[in-house]
Amino acid sequence: MSKLEKILALVRSINQDEFQEQLTYGDSLDDVYDELLFLAEKIDSKKKRTSVIVEQISNCFAGDFFNYLPISDAHDELDVFCMGFNTYIEELKAAMVSKKLVETINEKLVEEKDRTDKLTLSRNEFLFNVSHEIRTPLNGILGFTDLLLKNPALGSEEKNQLEYIRMSGAILLVIINDILDLVKMDAKQLVFSNKPFQINQLIRVVQETFLIKFQQKQIDFQVSIDEELPTVLNGDSTRITQILFNLINNAIQGTAEKGSIRLKVKFQDEEDDFYLVRIVVSNSGTEIAEDKLAEVFNPFVQMSDDSNSGLSLTVVKRIVSLMKGDIQVKSKPGDGTKFIITLPFSKNDYYFSVSKSFINKKPIDKNRPVRVLLAEDNRMNQILVEKLLSQFNMNCVAVANGQLAIDVVIQEDFDVIIMDLMMPVMNGYEATSTIRSLKDHTKKNIPIIALSAVVNSTVAKACKAVGINKYISKPFDSDELHAALMELIRRE
């Protein structure tokens, strides 16, 4: 074989292997030329395409992700690479679009959360302000009603009418408290106390509150308290009362005339640190449909044709959960409805230590009447407190703002101050701070009770921070006010 033939064979094999093509079939010099020219053109084309690919990939690394590589008609390995690269670009593009979409959604979610937080804050502030405005006149209604009920000259009919007023006011107060408690629970601001109380006394108060309703519907209300239950329990008596009130009020709504309601308090178990107590409230007659049982603790669920849950059961459920208890509801046709609550109550010697220390206090000097300074801008509340204090044989001086209270304290001597928190000119916090900074040791340490319709969670802390000894919310109970006054005066 001649050298020309060898060169031609070599070039043809390269073209066949690289490009799967053979142009000529002769053995002449022209054939060699055509084959070499074809090979040179193919190599030059590959070189140019490779240069374009390298440039495109470099641009991709520089941030220009969305330029596709060119695909020729050669359908060679470079085209296979370009097609794979273009597929990668498509996936990258989709991923980046998804990422951008997620970022946009996240930004909107953040904006929506900020908006929701602002709306929640505005709602809470609105509810607290409305509560303050409602509780102030309600304090007068309940307070004066209690004063009138103590009047021995009233006839039975007048007393019944006053009982209706007191019952309506008490229910209104519970509704207001339910709304505020939901707000506090949402804001994680609900605080529980752990003090001794007697469950039978709480039940008696609740029973007396609903006495008229029981009589109106001729409901047979029976209470059963387990003899094994400790006489004194430690816990939040206000929340226990709220639970009982809401459950019994709910039972009254679902009980027909001449029906029955049963309240049972059972001693269930005893652990090292707490007692486990079961409270059962059941009523005859109207039962809850099976498909509604899972929803009874949601706000304003229609449980039957003539009753709905309102907020009461929602509040009870959340309070029980926060107290680390459990609540269940059972209802069967013909058997009525039964709510079963299990609550833990801690064990401690708080009751006995407090009782002993209280008994050991020196009695008040009965030869000198107790002098009370009342700082309150609402004239109706001034009259109410003055009348209550007169029944306790206490002298009261009333002023309309904090600045006047400071002026009177400097000029006269008092045993205790009752201080409203929200007043014109100077509020109760500022007045207390000023009194606590007086040079006269006796005057600067005078006991101060805050009496206010403000009920948010920060009030107690704010009162303690400025030196207020005790906080009582409006509407207040006369016995609670009297007990607070006596405790602080004896302490002094």
How far separated are the first and last CA of the chain, in Å rounded? 130
Q: What is residue 444's predicted lDDT score, i.e. its pLDDT?
A: 92
Q: Which sign, positive or negative, has the C-alpha torsion 350, 355, 360, 366?
A: positive
* pLDDT higher than threshold 50 for residue 355: no
CATH of 361-491, one of 3.40.50.2300, 1.10.1740.110, 3.50.50.60, 3.10.105.10: 3.40.50.2300
Cα angle 470, 472, 477; round to 5 = 130
What is the C-alpha to C-alpha distance for residues 142 and 279, in angstroms, rounded to an integer? 29
**What residues have CB less than 8 Å from 399, skipping those under 6 apart?**
373, 374, 375, 376, 405, 407, 408
Higher-confidence position of 276 and 299: 276
42-101: per-residue pLDDT in tens?
Answer: 777 788 888 888 887 787 777 676 677 788 777 677 778 888 888 887 887 777 777 778
Q: What is the mean pLDDT of residues 339-358?
A: 64
Mean pLDDT computed over 125-145: 77
φ, ψ of residue 9 in degrees (nearest 5): -65, -40
Give 191-350's CATH code, choosing from 3.40.50.970, 2.60.40.10, 3.30.565.10, 1.10.10.10: 3.30.565.10
Residues whose CB is less than 8 angstroms from the CB of residue 197 and which lie 6 or more positions away in sequence, other chains included = 232, 233, 234, 235, 237, 240
Using 50, 70 and 90 to split pLDDT, how confident is the model at 292? confident
Share of the chain above pLDDT 70, in %: 87
pLDDT in tens, 219-240: 999 999 998 888 888 888 878 9
Decide: 329 and 196 in contact? Cβ < 8 Å: no
Residue 266 has pLDDT above 70, yes or no: yes
pLDDT digits (tens, 9 = 90+) for 468-477: 999 988 878 7
The CA-CA-CA angle for residues 27, 31, 32, to 5°, reads: 95
Distances (CA, A) of 11 to 39, 200, 473: 8, 111, 105
Q: Is 341 helix (H, G, I), strand (E, B) or coil?
A: strand
pTM of the model: 0.52
**pLDDT for the residue numbered 492:** 63
pLDDT of 348 reads 63
Residue 267 sits at φ, ψ, to 5 deg, of -85, 110
CB 256 within 8 A of CB 305: no
Burial call 298-313: b when 16+ CB within 10 Å, e when fewer: eeebebeeebebbbbb
* Sign of the CA dihedral with 425 first, then 431, 437, and 440 last: positive
Q: Taking the domains of the chain in order of start, what are their residue ranges?
A: 3-61, 191-350, 361-491
Token pair for 66 = 């969305």
Beta-strand ranges (E) seen in 97-216 are: 195-197
| Window from 212-221, 352-361, 371-380 with minimum mean pLDDT | 352-361
Largest Cα separation within the chain, whole Å, is 146
Alpha-carbon gap, residue 271 to 344, rounded angstroms: 9
Query: Which one-letter amino acid corresponds to residue 250?
Result: N
pLDDT of residue 362: 43
**Residue 482: Cβ-neighbour burial (10 angstroms; 0-12, 13-18, 19+):** middle
Most confident of 186-190, 283-287, 458-462: 458-462
